[in-house]
Amino acid sequence: MLLGGGHSDGTRLGGDSRSSTELATDRRITASVRNRLVDDSVLGQYDLQIETVNKRVILHGTVGTYEARERAIRLAGDVEGVERVDSRLRVGGGT
Q: Sorting pLDDT into bands at 50, 70 and 90, what band is 10?
A: low
Q: Write down the mean pLDDT value for the chain.
A: 87
Spans of all domains in the chain: 20-91
Question: Is pLDDT at 7 greater than 60 in this prediction?
Answer: no
Contacts of 85 (CB under 8 A, 6+ apart): 56, 57, 58, 59, 73, 76, 77
Checking if the pLDDT of 90 tops 60, the result is yes
Predicted TM-score (pTM) of the model is: 0.79
Q: What would the CATH number be for the domain defined by 20-91?
A: 3.30.1340.30
